[in-house]
Chains A and B, each alone.
Chain A
Amino acid sequence: DADVTQTPRNRITKTGKRIMLECSQTKGHDRMYWYRQDPGLGLQLIYYSFDVKDINKGEISDGYSVSRQAQAKFSLSLESAIPNQTALYFCATSDSQGLAYSYNEQFFGPGTRLTVL
């Protein structure tokens, strides 16, 4: 079974609809992230959470909200979807425990392809 799962894998919706993307992990990691990938732009961080009570905005949080329901679950919501939110969305996790001077690896889910018409 995959360590980081995302649902749905594909979603087509209409402008103005509310959409929730879900992420679950079985890695036991405390940190979780949501990224957006657009062609030719790499990955951009939307939100990140270091534990259930610690949620932070990333570089492109406008138009999005998140909820950390449990250590293993982190959902991303688009309150009123618009066409320029059409993109591939990735959830990732990392572990805060590790070597003192190395940045901990992030583990990615398979992605959700969202299309807003």
Chain B
Amino acid sequence: GNSVTQMEGPVTLSEEAFLTINCTYTATGYPSLFWYVQYPGEGLQLLLKATKADDKGSNKGFEATYRKETTSFHLEKGSVQVSDSAVYFCALGYSGAGSYQLTFGKGTKLSVIP
């Protein structure tokens, strides 16, 4: 079956530090990959997505590249801000016949300190 494994948190960084949150997946076929972000007290929001191998998703300074050879979709940001403090979820979506759900990782909590 499909599964997503992401690095466990919590992750604490100083402002302007470089961020990497690792995500690897197991899937049959050709899934789409997503990063969602959940700010305190809110629902999940799509941060970025990639729908095929070698695609790079980017938004708000965050980037992730769909690597089929390593089955990975690591999230990176060059310089984090306090406002980036949130929980980040990697997710896999498969649009093949009979399977339409998103499979989520367990989430990684990021805290950015001034």
Binding site for B on A (CB under 8 A): 4, 31, 33, 40-43, 45, 48, 50, 58, 90, 92, 99, 101-111
Q: Are A42 and B104 in contact (CB under 8 A)?
A: yes
Interface size on B, residues (CB 8 A): 25
Knowing A43-B104, A48-B101 touch, does A101 contact B52 (C-beta < 8 A)?
Answer: yes
Q: Are B89 and A90 in contact (CB under 8 A)?
A: no
> Would you call the interface of chain B mostly helix, strand, loop, or mixed?
loop
Q: Are A48 and B100 in contact (CB under 8 A)?
A: yes
Specify the chain A residue showing the minimal Cβ separation from B4. Answer: A42
Specify the chain A residue showing the minimal Cβ separation from B49. Answer: A105
Specify the chain B residue showing the minimal Cβ separation from A96. Answer: B100
Q: Are A90 and B44 in contact (CB under 8 A)?
A: yes
**From residue B24, how far is it (CB to closest CB) to chain A in Å?**
14
